[in-house]
Chain A
Amino acid sequence: MAEIYKLIHPLKYFTDYISREVRPDGRKFDEQRNIKLNVNSLKTAEASAVVKCGNTTVVCGIQLELATPKAEEPDLGYLVTNLELPALCSPKYRPGPPSDHAQVTNYLVSDIITNSKCINLKDLCIVPDKLAWVLYCDIVCLDNDGSLVDACIIALMASLKTLCLPSVTYDNDTEDIKVNADIRTPLKVHGLPVATSFAVYKLPDRNILLTDPSAYEEEMCGGIGANFIVCSNEGLLCGTQKFGGSNLLSDSQEESLKISRDRTNVVKKVIETSIKNDNEFVS
């Protein structure tokens, strides 16, 4: 019966739930979905992570490559993120070249990583003007059930935290490059940026903030993806993006900042535990 009701009166179905202080999947407004994380799951990548936030599943793998730095920035390496949203992750995407949404989300993810300054690109340079590391971070979404940016950032950060760079010797005269894959140094990661997505739903008398929205909730709130994303790294905000959906009043902003602080702690714990478990498993 409920299913039919949902199809005939989609808006009323959703509003009935929200006005009774509960979301259609049974969560409270500020409740987030469980996070499951597994690091180093792909053996062909240098570092990798698989994350599940509720049903949203994202795989991230990092490949290393050597290249010459740009002439304008001779002492910087490269960090390239690439997000793939294949047709299998949601009926909204068609096979073919990357959709607008994939490009926008990819830009958001790489923007958060750059703004948070968690990776110093100078650390990726081996010999200025001659040789630098390129980190290709490929992120593939297997199942898109909302809050995609959050999951991408968790997967990416978990992979970066486990990444070890092989030692490289470069001969200035012969331009000979020797890579020793046995001696590895971990990449320095400064802090841990965490993104928290919200959907903003408008009831006649007030606005409701839904934490960690599912794809269905994002759609009902009128956005393509989440409406409001707060990112913070070590207590400093490194990006608050809001687009579409209902407008935001200042008290809901206070609330969102508080929720994002709590979530940062949870995500931090998840990543640390999962890396620790992986290390124990290896040794």
Chain B
Amino acid sequence: MGMEKNVSKDFKLKPMKCELNFLSKSDGSTILSQGDTVAVVSVNGPLDIKSTSQSIEKSTLEVLYCTKGGKPSVADRYKENVIRQTCETAILGSLYPRTGITVTIQELEDYGGLLSCCLNCTCLALLNSGVSMRCVYAAVTCAVDESGDIVLEPPKHQLQTARAVMTFVYDSREKSLVTSFTEGMFSEDTYKEALARCHAASDLIFSFYRDIVSKYANVI
């Protein structure tokens, strides 16, 4: 792993490494590293849950996001919410009414772009667990630096000086926007350009998913 020369190259993302079935007791689990940022996700379900949180129409999705520091904050709640809503659009929950699916995310290393790493890792873990899904999704983070240029998957020092940081999630079927999450100020044109860049970059992540899944399918 290392910061390879992806500084100004447009459509090159940080090297990604991934291992499925990383944990032995979960229904599905994945460890994913994007550059130096690493996250582990475990998926369990569909399981029995207490009757108050059951939904008769679809399965209830529960997302737990654990930071390295361990102390949960309101910002973590917000990230949990972003991840849960994204997974909910991808999972065919109506196939598992009155059940619960739990997704647990553990941050291991954060060198920038943790949210998109967590989202991609969650998607792979859901695939690994065998839960029926409508589509897969890919998350890309980009930053707008001081001169107004857009940097895909910025390293940590660039994130601190960036004017704005945006994370976009695209689905695999229509390639349309599932989730967007932005911080900072930016103009409309920058926003549109960032959307287009991340859209193009999401294709790389989808092809990475395909490689990983076909690799593990051969083993089985």
**Does B82 sit at the interface, judged by CB under 8 A?**
yes
Residues of A within 8 A of B179 (CB): 242-243
Contact with A247, one of B81, B88, B89 (Cβ below 8 angstroms): B89
Number of interface residues of A (CB under 8 A): 30
**Does A7 sit at the interface, judged by CB under 8 A?**
no
Pick the interface stretch among B17-25, B30-38, B182-190.
B182-190
User: Is A247 within 8 A of B171, CB to CB?
Assistant: yes
User: Is B176 within 8 A of A233, CB to CB?
Assistant: no
User: Is A244 within 8 A of B185, CB to CB?
Assistant: no
Instruction: Give 27 CB contacts A-B under 8 Å.
Output: A103-B74, A104-B78, A106-B74, A107-B77, A107-B78, A108-B78, A115-B185, A116-B185, A223-B85, A235-B187, A236-B186, A237-B182, A237-B186, A238-B184, A238-B185, A239-B182, A240-B191, A242-B179, A242-B180, A243-B86, A243-B181, A247-B89, A248-B176, A248-B177, A253-B192, A253-B195, A257-B188
Which of B85, B180, B183, B185 is most buried by chain A, counting CB atoms within 10 A of its CB? B185
Does more than half of chain A's interface fall in helix, strand or loop, or is it mixed?
Answer: mixed
**Does B48 sit at the interface, judged by CB under 8 A?**
no
- Report the minimal beta-carbon distance from A110 to chain B, rounded to whole angstroms: 9
Interface contact tally, CB-CB below 8 A: 75
- Also in contact, A233 and B177, with CB within 8 A (given A103-B77, A244-B89): no
A-B pairs with the 3 shortest C-beta distances?
A247-B176, A243-B85, A244-B85
Residues of A within 8 A of B (CB): 100, 103-104, 106-108, 111, 115-117, 223-224, 233, 235-245, 247-250, 253, 257
- Report the minimal beta-carbon distance from B204 to chain A, rounded to whole angstroms: 20
**Does B178 sit at the interface, judged by CB under 8 A?**
yes
- Report the minimal beta-carbon distance from B186 to chain A, rounded to whole angstroms: 6
Residues of B within 8 A of A237 (CB): 182, 185-188, 191
Number of interface residues of B (CB under 8 A): 28
Which of B74, B77, B82, B182 is most buried by chain A, counting CB atoms within 10 A of its CB? B182
User: Is A241 within 8 A of B77, CB to CB?
Assistant: no
User: Is A111 within 8 A of B183, CB to CB?
Assistant: yes
Task: Give B177's nearest chain A residue, CB to CB.
Answer: A248
User: Is A100 within 8 A of B171, CB to CB?
Assistant: no
User: Is A243 within 8 A of B81, CB to CB?
Assistant: yes
**Does B75 sit at the interface, judged by CB under 8 A?**
yes
Residues of B within 8 A of A243 (CB): 81-82, 85-86, 179, 181
Residues of B within 8 A of A223 (CB): 85
CA of A104 to CA of B88 in the docked complex: distance in angstroms?
A: 17
Task: Give A108's nearest chain B residue, CB to CB.
Answer: B78
Residues of B within 8 A of A233 (CB): 185
Residues of B within 8 A of A107 (CB): 74-75, 77-78
CA of A268 to CA of B177 in the docked complex: distance in angstroms?
A: 30
**Does B174 sit at the interface, judged by CB under 8 A?**
yes
Residues of B within 8 A of A117 (CB): 185
CA of A242 to CA of B171 in the docked complex: distance in angstroms?
A: 13
- Report the minimal beta-carbon distance from B116 to chain A, rounded to whole angstroms: 15
CA of A241 to CA of B186 in the docked complex: distance in angstroms?
A: 14
CA of A236 to CA of B187 in the docked complex: distance in angstroms?
A: 5
- Report the minimal beta-carbon distance from B206 to chain A, rounded to whole angstroms: 15
